[in-house]
Amino acid sequence: MIEIRGLWKRFGDLLALEPLNLTIHAGEVVALVGPNGAGKSTALRILAGILTPSGGRATIAGRDAVTEAVAARREVGYLPQKLGVPTTTVVGDLLELVAATRGIPFAQAAAALAVAGFGDRMGAVVAELSGGQRQRLLLACATLGDVRALLLDEPSISLDVDGAEEVRESIRAAVRRGSAVLFASHYLHDVALLADRIVVMVNGRAIATGTPAALAAAAGIPWREGNEAVDPPIERVYRVLVKRGQEHALRGPLHLVQGDAA
């Protein structure tokens, strides 16, 4: 569904994203994790058509993300890290715009938004909403219709415990409908609960790609499925892998888990 081949991006002297190869299949959830400046958002923003890649290629449902950007975006629901709409926007106006771009009737879109708790807030201005409400609004808009790919940059940011669970449930619902999901997050709890595969990124480079268990094995940490709440090994795995990535940053390529990037 999402094919990334040798995608890279340079901002002036900064190589923000080294050539990235990744395939995300329909109904699969892949998480991008890593410290700030690792290149997670850059990768998502290229796929969403916000940035132009310096090289490489990406396709979404067979559409080139650069040369067929509009067609590719028809298949995508994108949630940026920042708000990304004017704060003077009225909820109903935004919904009408998104519904029109997805080709779904306004009433159907409004019903979906009502489920997200905005049934009586169609006339509200975005500036009046809390940070968490804004995040839920944009996520609800991003997941409207049967998008084939979801690109989410920090979907749980600004959310309380219940809000974060709602977001996870939205993502699971999209996956059940067959969407491919690529999301970036600093919340490793979300990553452990949602991701089928994880891409660990450091300094613009994907240093490890694999299932949580495979990454744990690479980090030398025992992995116990379903024990996230009690003893989250994902955090230890993350720290070990990121540390190794940072240590090897000046010493050439490092790829801890081979073979399942595609």
Work out how close the CB of 90 gets to other proteins at its nearest, in angstroms, rounded to a whole number. 7
- CA-CA distance, 17 to 7, in Å (whole number)? 8
Q: Which residue, 8 or 238, is less far from other proteins as judged by CB?
A: 8
Tokens of 9: 């991006």
63: number of Cβ within 10 Å: 19
Q: Which residue, 151 or 192, is less far from other proteins as judged by CB?
A: 151
Q: Is residue 45 part of the contact set for other proteins (CB under 8 A)?
A: yes
The answer to whether 126 and 89 are in contact (CB under 8 A) is yes
> What are residue 29's phi and psi, to 5 degrees?
-115, 125
Please identify which residue in 2, 30, 51, 159 interacts with other proteins, judged by CB under 8 A. Answer: 51
The answer to whether 7 and 56 are in contact (CB under 8 A) is yes
> Segment 175-234, which members bind other proteins (CB under 8 A)?
none
Tokens of 155: 């979907």
Q: Which residue, 79 or 214, is less far from other proteins as judged by CB?
A: 79
Q: Which residue, 36 or 88, is less far from other proteins as judged by CB?
A: 88
Q: Binding string, 131-150, against other proteins, x = CB under 8 A?
A: -------x--xx--------
What Å distances lie between residue 177 and 30, 145, 170, 240, CA to CA? 16, 10, 11, 35
Please identify which residue in 4, 32, 38, 48 interacts with other proteins, judged by CB under 8 A. Answer: 48
Q: Binding string, 52-91, against other proteins, x = CB under 8 A?
A: x----------------xxx-xx-x-xxx-xxxxx-xxx-
Work out how close the CB of 107 gets to other proteins at its nearest, in angstroms, rounded to a whole number. 15
The answer to whether 152 and 79 are in contact (CB under 8 A) is yes
- CA-CA distance, 220 to 240, in Å (whole number)? 9
The answer to whether 234 and 188 are in contact (CB under 8 A) is yes
Q: Is residue 94 part of the contact set for other proteins (CB under 8 A)?
A: yes
Q: Which residue, 157 or 261, is less far from other proteins as judged by CB?
A: 157
Taking each helix axis from N to C end, the angle separating 161-176 and 131-142, rounded to the nearest 10 degrees, works out to: 0
Summarize as ranges the residues that interact with other proteins (CB under 8 A).
Answer: 11, 45, 48-52, 69-71, 73-74, 76, 78-80, 82-86, 88-90, 93-94, 96-98, 100-101, 125, 138, 141-142
